[in-house]
Amino acid sequence: MEKKKKSYKNLLIVESPAKAKTINKYLGTDYKVMATVGHIIDLPKSKLGVDIEHNYEPLFETIYGKGKIITDLKRAVPKDGNVFLAMDPDREGEAIAWHVNSVLKTKNAKRVMFNEITKDAILEAVKHPLEIDENLVEAQKARRILDRLVGYKLSELLWKKIWYGLSAGRVQSVALRLVVEREEEREAFKAEEYWDFGVEVKDESGNVLNAKLAQKDGKKYIPTNKDEVEGIEKTLGSSDYIVKDVVVKKVKKHPYPPFTTSTLQQAANNVLGYSSKRTMAIAQILYQAGYITYMRTDSFNLSGKAVDSIRELIGTSYGKEYLPATPNYYKTRSKGAQEAHEAIRPSDINVTREKIEAQFGSAEAKLYDLIWKRVVSCQMTDKQAEILTVSIVNKDVKKPEYVFTLGGEMTLFDGFRKVLGTGKVEDDLQEISKIEKGDSLKWKKFVKEQKYTQPPARYTDASLVKKLEALEIGRPSTYATIISTIEARGYITKEAKALIPTDVGRIVTNFLRDNFKRLVDYKYTAKVEAELDGIAAGKMKYAPVMDEQYKPLVEEIAKAEKDVKKEDVVILGKAEDKCPECGGEMIIRIGRYGKFLSCAKFPECKGMKDLSGNEESLDFAKYLRPEKCPKCGGELVLKNSKYGKFWACKDYPKCKGTVPLLLQEKCPECNHPLVERRSKWGRTFTGCSNYPECKYIKKTFKAKKKKKSSE
């Protein structure tokens, strides 16, 4: 039977079906566009998959379910036509292109790269195809193999020394260490008393002004206790004040650069409350639909064509006064900036937020709007402002000299803030702008407030990404994965935006700090990233880099195997309680879901008590207390899991009856108790416990806030 001749001459392969659908609109009938749906080959899941003895060669195998895709791709290759590999413009994309080419065994496959999925960009890329960059492929292979070696070998050790199912990663463990050490800083923090002290005065026009104590005898001064405050009040009395100095300073504020992966994740977390994972998922949707440029980048660069279109929009929509004489350029700070050639921007600056919202919804529209405003504002003029600082002193008391200050900022020209928003709320300077040096001010009263220093803030997605970038740990494509991985492993939890280490996370971190200092050292991890960049640039070789990392790891694991006892890791100390089974001593152990009491004679005696539930911690005005087990009618006790608290039968594991943590509040539609749930993005919401029969979700109303900037 004669084979049917293909109607196309060119096959273009991408990773994503959504990307394929968008590109297909721009290419004619001479092209067939197909998707691999991500990687087609990878390391095996159930074994190491690395040939240590032969230069750390990966033993790749076809990913489960990808056999049919590979067969379809092979069949689709045109006999006398071209194969274009159009994967993402980064190391992972280069590796996928290499994998596809090696599986298809095509001799003339070409690599095409574009930073945005637009008709012009696609056609231009196809006209000027490239060769696969072997150095980038080697760099991605090095990252994948190194992560496998570290993760696989360390995880095996964690199973032996702590418990089965734990895992560790090369970069994730360092990020976890940051979160744990911040919590340790907070716990070790000792609050110190200080006082805000000020004076309320009246000017000649009757305006009431508030000045804050700033200096004592020319040095910065903050009272540290009540006695000091009372001493100041006694010394100054009710005497009037005189203006010692008036300083007017004009300042310029430059626009912020366009978004990189890191700064987009930070802004989306700070302004929109999105996690890094959610931000990147939404950005991926916008990119594949052709609305923004590639979202994994550490470059501030913008194409000349993009800058021209942005400048045209500024001149037309905002006026020539908002348009600088020449374009603004920004220098990339990252030493290893190489993942893409442009910052994140809209592919077409004239596409509005409203269009995005109509097509996708509000979440995508909000992120697009953030990107749009940032890139338009980055090409606008500076903000110009006037800062006024007034210093006043007591008329009668010369020594010691207490200096109080008041002032604020007044915008002279909003510049880039016209688009980006006003940022910080500014003081109204009208009342103090007429004050001159030597003016008299009438004392009205002292204003004082006792305060205490606060511990360092916990990390959020935004601040952790910023810290990782500052330490040069990870790369644009890894930030979101790093955070989502340690959260999925149960090593951290989120309260509002704050990242809090769990007991399990602390145990793993302590174990790694004690036995693998090299691996969780910040400078060392940054050095490894630099070496991976060296492979990508063709300056370093794969095998020697792997040798340098792997051989010390083997020695460290062997030492820990010998020296570390499991009891030293998971036992936290003795407990006062007696074993409910044998009446003997109990010890505090750490399990995967928290602390619990275990009989000291374990495994001979399996007596235990749960500590992680702690009914005393529950607010029973908010939560229901179930009467009995739904399966056996027995008593229920509060338990804890990585998904949160729940009620379980006291006779577990004989009886596995459970009840969720129900609220006192009833569903207005079916009268069942409501329950707190978590969405796939990690946000909590309140819904009916009778789901899916009842799909009621309680609406939450946010208090109106002052407009934030996206800085």
Residues noted as catalytic: 294
Please give the full DSSP string across 161-176, using - where no structure is assigned.
HT-TT----TTHHHHH
Contacts 24+ apart (CB under 8 A), 63-68: 63/39, 66/36, 66/37, 66/39, 66/40, 66/41
DSSP 272: I
Q: CA 574 to CA 589: how far, in whole Å?
A: 9
List helix spans (H) across 105-259. 119-127, 134-161, 172-188, 226-236
- Tell me the torsion sign for CA atoms 72, 73, 74, 79: positive
Q: CA 279 to CA 272: how far, in whole Å?
A: 10
- Is the bond preceding residue 400 a cis peptide, omega within 30 degrees? yes
Q: CA 6 to CA 83: how far, in whole Å?
A: 14
How far CA 61 is from CA of 96, 138, 194, in Å, comes to 13, 18, 63
The total of other beta-carbon atoms located within 10 Å of residue 92's CB is 21
Q: Which helix (H) or strand (E) holds 213?
A: strand 208-216
SS3 for 57-93, per residue?
EECCEECCCCHHHHHHHHHHCCCCCEEEECCCCCHHH
Q: Which candidate, 125, 116, 122, 123, places its Cα nearest to that of 345?
A: 116
Q: Strand runs (DSSP E) across 231-342, as ranges?
A: 241-253
Nearest 5 degrees, angle CA 188-CA 502-CA 660? 135
Place of tokens 């109106």: 704
Q: CA 201 to CA 242: how far, in whole Å?
A: 10
Please give the full DSSP string across 549-607, using - where no structure is assigned.
HHHHHHHHHHHHHHH--HHHHHEEEEEEEEPTTTS-EEEEEEETTEEEEEETTTTS---
Would you state the torsion angle of the CA atoms of residues 13, 14, 19, 25, taken in this order, to the nearest 10 degrees?
-20
Token reading at 228? 């000091």
Q: Which candidate, 392, 315, 310, places its Cα nearest to that of 346?
A: 310
Please give the full DSSP string across 328-385, using - where no structure is assigned.
-------TT--S-SS-B-BSSTT--HHHHHHHT-HHHHHHHHHHHHHHHHTTSPPEEE
Is the separation of the CB atoms in 336 and 469 below 8 Å?
no
Burial class (CB in 10 A: 0-12, 13-18, 19+), 660: middle
The one-letter amino acid at 683: R
Burial class (CB in 10 A: 0-12, 13-18, 19+), 612: middle
Cβ contacts of residue 274 below 8 Å, gap of 6+? 268, 282, 363, 367, 681
Beta bridge partners of 382: none
Cβ contacts of residue 689 below 8 Å, gap of 6+? 660, 662, 667, 672, 673, 674, 675
- Buried-state track 194-231, b at ≥16 Cβ within 10 A, e below 16: bbebbbebbbeeeeebebebbbbeeeebebeeeebbee
